[in-house]
Structure 1
Amino acid sequence: MTTTQSIITIVAVVLGTMVTRFLPFLIFPEGKTPPAYIQYLGKVLPYAVIGLLVIYCLKDVPASSTYGLPEAIAILFIMVLHKWKKNTLLSIGGGTILYMILVQMVF
């Protein structure tokens, strides 16, 4: 990649990032109520995204040699940890660490 191509790529990425960050604030200013479908999407999309991520993470489990045991243990650990501490970052980090320990050292 030449220097000119690199600069054009960086500018395109910066502009794309800035547009996606600032556009919602321009379309929906603070004093204006968002449309009903935007409010609906704000309520359902977080759960849909989490469900999609869980399915994506577990898609290769039937092909694994451990039959999903480390995944199941990590999921149960995440659920218990989140119910106990109610801290999303701790749940994600703790579950990831436990899963990596299980995959690297146990199974």
Structure 2
Amino acid sequence: MNDYGYLFATFFAMMIISFGERALPFAAGEWLQKQKWAIVLGKFLPLAIMFLLVLHSSTGAALAHGGLPIPELAAIVATLVLQWFWKNALLSIFTGTLVYVVLFNSMF
């Protein structure tokens, strides 16, 4: 097989696999809606993933500047408090980001 044939075969295989893994949830959607474990994961997983992403990014940011994680913790607390009381995700995320940027730039 020449180089172009190998390249074409590789791209074709990647295309089929990518299409298949994106089409599978639609093909199995009706079956998944009836499964108890899928319903539990659908309720639990988004929050768990967001928690892990926030924990990982705030820990990485705190280690990057080498100081206390005061801006990170203040931003997380501000986001949680605003989300708890107003339940507006856009307001909470924007305010938490603003708190982080202002504190980070004033401290470092």
Q: For the superposition of Structure 1 and Structure 2, which TM-score range results when normalised by the shorter chain?
A: 0.5 to 0.7
Q: CA deviation at 1:73?
A: 1.2
Structure 2 length normalisation: TM-score?
0.67
Describe the shift of the 1:76–1:34 C-alpha distance in structure 2 as closer, same or farther (beyond 3 A): same
**Aligned pairs, how many?**
101
Structure 1 length normalisation: TM-score?
0.67
Gaps of 5+ in 1: none
Would you tell me which structure has more helix in proportion to its own residues?
2
Match of 1:84 in 2: 85
1:16-63 per-residue CA deviation (whole Å, 9 max, x = no partner) reads 3x5444421211238x74322212211221121022112211323256
CA contact (8 A) 2:75 2:97 kept: yes
Match of 2:48 in 1: 48
Cα RMSD for the two superposed structures: 3.3
For the residues of structure 1 that align with 2:26 and 2:34, how far apart are their CA atoms? Answer: 11
1:30-41 → structure 2 map (5 Å cutoff):
33-41=33-41
Gaps of 5+ in 2: 1-6
Larger radius of gyration: 2
